[in-house]
C-alpha cells in the first residue's frame, strides 16, 4: 500500500476546516457592515450578541479544533510508522466524509438528531483509524 494515500484525506480535512474559517470571517465582516453586530463585540465577546447564524458558524469552526486533531495525529502516526493499510485509508476518508455531512447538517437545518448520527460516524471512523494503527503496531512488534 502506498503510504502517501493516508495524507490525502488529511489534506481534504484541512481544506474543509480552512473554508469554514474563511466563511466565518466573511460572514462576520458582512454582519458588521450590515450593522447586525458591532465590531466592539469581537474585542471581548461580551458586548451585545451576535446573530444566531454567526454563533452556529463560530461554534462549527470551533468543532474543527476538538475531535479532528485526533484524526491528524492518527494519520501522522500511521504515516511515520509505515503502518498505513487500505483499512486505515478507508477510515480516514470516512472520517472526512462524516465531517462534510456534519458541516452540511450543522450549517443547514441543524437537526440535532442528524448531527448526532454524523458525530457518531465521525467517532467510529476515528476509532477505526486508531485501531488500524494499534493492530499494525502490535503485528510489527
- Residues 116-133 have a mean pLDDT of 98
Distance, in Å, from the CA atom of 33 to the CA atom of 1, rounded to the nearest integer, reads: 51
- Residues 101-120 have a mean pLDDT of 97
Distance, in Å, from the CA atom of 67 to the CA atom of 47, rounded to the nearest integer, reads: 30
| 39-68 pLDDT tens trace | 989 888 887 889 999 999 999 999 999 999
> Tell me, what's the pLDDT at 46?
81
| 5-23 pLDDT tens trace | 999 999 999 999 999 999 9
Residue 98 clears pLDDT 90, i.e. is over it: yes
* Residue 94: partners with Cβ closer than 8 Å, 6 or more residues away: 121, 125, 128
| DSSP-derived secondary structure letter, 51 | -
Residue 138 clears pLDDT 80, i.e. is over it: yes
* pLDDT-derived band at 79, boundaries 50, 70, 90: very high
- Residue-averaged pLDDT of the chain: 96
Helix axes 86-107, 52-63, angle to 10 degrees: 170
Is the pTM of the predicted complex or chain greater than 0.85?
yes
Amino acid at each position: 500500500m502506498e503510504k502517501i494515500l493516508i495524507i490525502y484525506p488529511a489534506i481534504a480535512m484541512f481544506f474543509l476546516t480552512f473554508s469554514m474559517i474563511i466563511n466565518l470571517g466573511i460572514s462576520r465582516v458582512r454582519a458588521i457592515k450590515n450593522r447586525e453586530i458591532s465590531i466592539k463585540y469581537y474585542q471581548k465577546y461580551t458586548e451585545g450578541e451576535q446573530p444566531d447564524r454567526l454563533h452556529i458558524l463560530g461554534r462549527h469552526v470551533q468543532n474543527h479544533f476538538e475531535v479532528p486533531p485526533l484524526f491528524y495525529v492518527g494519520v501522522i502516526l500511521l504515516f511515520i510508522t509505515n503502518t498505513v493499510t487500505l483499512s486505515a485509508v478507508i477510515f480516514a476518508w470516512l472520517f472526512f466524509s462524516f465531517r462534510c455531512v456534519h458541516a452540511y447538517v450543522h450549517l443547514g437545518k441543524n437537526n440535532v438528531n442528524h448531527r448526532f448520527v454524523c458525530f457518531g460516524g465521525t467517532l467510529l471512523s476515528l476509532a477505526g483509524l486508531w485501531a488500524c494503527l494499534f493492530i499494525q503496531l502490535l503485528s510489527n512488534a
